[in-house]
Structure 1
Amino acid sequence: MAEKIKENWKYLLINGKSKTLEVKDSEFDKGKLTNLTDIRPFNKNDSEGKEISPTVELANKEKRKVYTTFFQKPFKNLVLLTGAGSSMDVKGLSMNQLWDESEKEFKSEKVDGLNNIIEAVKFPNEKKDKKDIEALLSQIEGFVRFSDDIEVDSKDGRKKLSKLKELLFKLIQEKCTIPTPSNDAFPHKVLLEKVLQRKLTSPRVKIFTLNYDLLFEDAATAVNAIVIDGFSYTFPRTFSGRYFDYDIVQREGSKLKEEDNFVQRVFHLHKLHGSINWERIEETGSVVINEKPKKALMVYPREAKYEDSYEQPFFEMMARFQRNLRLNDDTLLVCIGYSFNDKHINAAIEEALNQNPGFRLAIIDPGFDNDAASKSLKTIKETALQTERILMVSETFTDFANYFPEIKTYENTQQVTINLKNE
């Protein structure tokens, strides 16, 4: 008997038992659906009873119809979390691409500098094959701390591992500096314009990002919005958590003399892993904004990033993230391009799902149904099939920004329990 061929179905959208969309024998190119043989569920007959052949356009239309309805439901607090996937839409680099750039930077005709580092710190081959730049930086730090800060041949002569690590950090800083895109290719601007149309009586939109770039700041300038980012409005702009409690109100000419008259187009921006224009002043320990810092204050990709998150200003940013997810009066968290590989971020989201009945979660990720997705993302997928509190959509950031609808306010729904198994 011939072996039965397993049907290859992939999820395009998950939102509870009754609201899912799958495509058969599907193909994707950079996250975009390019080919399919079937859609389910799907009525294959038109109003006249004629059979309709499923197409990519039809699958995307059905998908966007479902998530448009989801985002048009009422909610009070809107929180966005963006990861590397959002910046990659505008020429940001993935971790694998940062590895490739490091190979180029440390290589000459005679010396393969990155490979020399790998051999010196005894970096495992399986992690090398995965191009795990985070694991490599962690291995370098551990080797220097517990073994020896030895010298290694590099393209510019022999250098200590600690110096080569700093050069890797500098390279990451440079490669995460992304020029402002043109208006017709700037999804951050498109999405910001839409979410800032909320009623002024609603709480301010809170944006948390794990990226170092200035794309949200550039988008704010493009739409004439005001950013409350935790820094003073005096110069030099200096960080203090109390500035997140400030707001912008209009006093002159207000019709409501006894009440706050909030200014439009204001949002909060929290950069959980720092920024390419943050700098710590060694003499005072204060953190300021500097367009050309000698050493940018960033949580670089390595295991010690979890320790870094307990230092200021990162601790303040993380505390604000947790606080916003605990608001038990209709909160929606929209995760865009986040891989669910950061334990401290996952823990906050897990707690909100388990403890906050007024919390909803939406995940926008063109690769959420890939076999290579993180264990935590796979756990969420299993839970999303059981509850309409979680929405998962296979969509690029650019397309999501273009199709994101005008929004209203959310209602509460059923409670679920989730346990994210961190890798």
Structure 2
Amino acid sequence: MNDAGDSSPDASTSVEDGKGPLPGLFLVGGVIKELISSGDAHVVREHLSSLLQVHNLVVLFGSGASFHLGSPQTRNLTNEQVLELIRTAGGDPTDDDVELLSTINPSDNGDLEQLLNGLQLAASLAKQAGQGSVALGSGSSARTFPVDQVNTLRSKINRALAAACRLPAAGAKLAPPFDTDPLRAHRLFLARLVRNRRANLPRPRIFTTNYDLVIEQALDELGYPYIDGFSGTVDRRLNLAYYGLDFHRVETTTQSVVARAEGALYLHKVHGSLNWRSSLERDRATQLESLEVKQVTAGNEGDELVLIYPTAAKEADTLAYPYSDLLRLLGDAVQQEDTAVLVVGYGFADAHINRLLLRSLATNSALNVFVADPKAVLADEDLVTVGENRDAVGLFLAEAGVAPKRTAIAALASGRDSRVAVLTGESGKFSELAELMPEAGSLGSVSSPTAIAALIDALESAARGTTPATLESDSV
């Protein structure tokens, strides 16, 4: 998490009549290509396999890729749930905060983006009028609140939202197998993404609206090198020129290039990151001030987080450094010839990103888009209806007797553009999509650090003639 505008978590994967998990549905150009059962997904795998071999591969991650790790709910929240979010992050809501929250959200059913919008607007109006307080509510329930109190509550919610995005969430009850191996799906997805591409193709480029560090942690566990736009080791600063660099193997004595390093990719965090901090610094030679973005391992509570919070102002925020530069890189990436974009967990709620993707579809005939989302296309009962009709393959949704939802992803799924593919239902979850990614073939699977440690222990035990520890069967 991440940006509250992305796909919403699904509370359940079964319908009310108890028919069990929703089936997977794969559409290309608006046509149903495959009804995915537990043991049959060859059509979507073949489609993914072809996309992984395009010249330029782009992956766009949204918050839906983190729901299985306890990413926080941001919609349909009671005021008490908002206060609990603040407490969980170590904050201490005051009685004044409780009163302000109940006044600005009298329905007791809030959306964090709308709530933050309201607080921001109230403070802005008071500032514009040169007043130190703002009146909220109507009639006898109207109350006056100091602007400082409004800004304080907004800051508490922002920090609570950021803290809730430190995944895997502390104390969260994750479903198996993620309760014992939280990053399994991310490792599997990234490993198959990288290992299925030919060695002579450009590196995959990952863009994400998420603040969390899950992708970085998964890459570290895999041992894959990646370029995230930062230079330095102790003092790491954002330097976008580093996206022009690459990794190569060299002969240690002559330093001559032997081959490109395997497993490398590029990572772009277009809405900021939990480990980014801003710093206004003065150049020693010219004495000119410049804004620096630094990557830290641990920040102080008062440090300014470099994040785009989910408010109405977020599109304007993207015009500032460093977001504008990172979005420019996304725009450049999707305009290249022979390009595929894998969209995972992104709900098309950010107009600035949607504009880049839709304009590229309109102008770049060599662009293919694959979208995975479990809930955005059909209602549960309609998905089950289609899943039970084996004759639905080859039909448009309307011909199959169901009506798509009024969402951006449903519109993409219904459109008759053969360059657009949508995977929905249970298979549209990120954790399920990772399993559907084509396997690496002769390159083999990627072992988890614990599996590797168990293998080493077994080999050492064999050398000592002792009984080896039990090896893990997990090959991810």
* TM-score over 0.5 (shorter chain): yes
Which of 365, 386, 396 pairs up with 1:357? 365
Deviations 1:203-246 (A, max 9, x none): 11101111100001101111001120010034310002111111
Q: Which has the higher contact order (CA 8 A, sep 6+)?
A: 2
Find out whether 1:150 has 2:133 as its counterpart.
yes
Specify which of 251, 270, 273 is matched with residue 271 of structure 2: 273
Match of 1:245 in 2: 244
Q: What is aligned with 2:156?
A: 167
Q: Which of 277, 281, 298 is 1:292 aligned to?
A: 298
Does the Cα contact within 8 Å between 1:84 and 1:93 map onto a contact in 2? no
Q: Tell me which of 333, 336, 343 is aligned to 2:341.
A: 333
Q: What residue is the counterpart of 1:72 in the other structure?
A: 49
1:287 aligned counterpart, secondary structure? strand
Q: Contact 1:227–1:269 (CA<8 Å) still a contact in 2?
A: yes
Shift of 1:391: 1.1
Question: 2:142 matched to which residue of 1?
Answer: none
What residue is the counterpart of 1:179 in the other structure?
A: 168
Q: Alpha-carbon deviation of 1:295?
A: 2.9
How far does residue 200 in structure 1 lie from its aligned partner after superposition? 2.5
Q: Which secondary structure does the structure 1 equivalent of 2:291 belong to?
A: coil
1:388 and 2:388 matched: no
**8 Å Cα contact 1:249/1:260 also seen in 2:** yes
2:83 alignment partner in structure 1: 103
Whether the 8 Å contact between 2:186 and 2:215 is mirrored in structure 1 is yes
2:59 is the counterpart of 1:59: no
| Structure 1 residue aligned with 2:231 | 232
Task: Identify if the C-alpha distance between structure 1 residues 176 and 191 changes in structure 2 by more than 3 Å, giving closer, same or farther.
Answer: same
Give the superposition deviation at 1:150. Answer: 3.3
1:135 equivalenced with 2:141 (yes/no): no
Aligned to 1:215: 214
- 1:314 correspondence with 2:323: yes
Query: Structure 1's 109 and 304: CA in aligned 2 closer, same or farther, altered over 3 A?
Result: closer
Q: Which structure 1 segments of 5+ residues have no match?
A: 1-8, 23-57, 409-423
* Backbone CA RMSD of aligned residues: 3.3
Aligned to 1:116, which of 87, 100, 103? 100
Partner residue, 2:463: none
**8 A Cα contact 1:280 1:287, kept in partner:** yes
Q: 2:398 — aligned with what?
A: none
State the 1:66 CA deviation: 1.8
Identity of aligned residues (%): 22
* TM-score, scaled relative to structure 2: 0.67
1-structure distance, mates of 2:267, 2:94 = 46
Distance 1:374 1:124, change over 3 A: farther
Residue of 397, 413, 436 corresponding to 1:403? 436
| Residues 337-346 or 105-114, more deviating | 105-114
Q: Is the 8 A contact 1:189 1:220 kept in 2?
A: yes
CA contact (8 A) 1:325 1:333 kept: yes
Counterpart-to-counterpart distance in 2, 1:276 and 1:378: 32
Q: How far does residue 256 in structure 1 lie from its aligned partner after superposition?
A: 12
Q: Give 1:183 shift.
A: 3.7
> Aligned partners of 1:275 and 1:222: how far apart in 2?
19
Given the superposition, is the C-alpha separation of residues 340 and 349 from structure 1 closer, same or farther in structure 2, using an over 3 Å criterion? same
Count of aligned residue pairs for this structure pair: 352
For structure 2, list consecutive stretches of 5 or more residues without a partner in the other structure. 1-21, 136-144, 170-177, 282-289, 380-403, 442-476
Contact 2:24/2:37 (CA < 8 Å) preserved in 1? Answer: no
Alpha-carbon distance in 2 for matches of 1:387, 1:60: 28
Q: 1:226 to 1:106 in 2, by over 3 A?
A: closer
Helix, strand or coil for the counterpart of 1:142?
helix
So what's the TM-score if we normalise by structure 1?
Answer: 0.75
Moved more, 341-350 or 242-251: 242-251
DSSP-derived class of the 1:378 partner: helix
- Output the CA distance in 2 between the equivalents of 1:242 and 1:366: 37
Please say if residues 106 and 113 of structure 1, whose CA atoms lie closer than 8 Å, have aligned partners that are also in contact: no
Find runs of 4+ consecutive structure 1 residues off by over 3 angstroms. 17-22, 97-101, 105-115, 148-152, 179-185, 253-257, 370-375
Equivalents in 2 of 1:17, 1:381: separation in Å? 5
Aligned to 1:368: 376
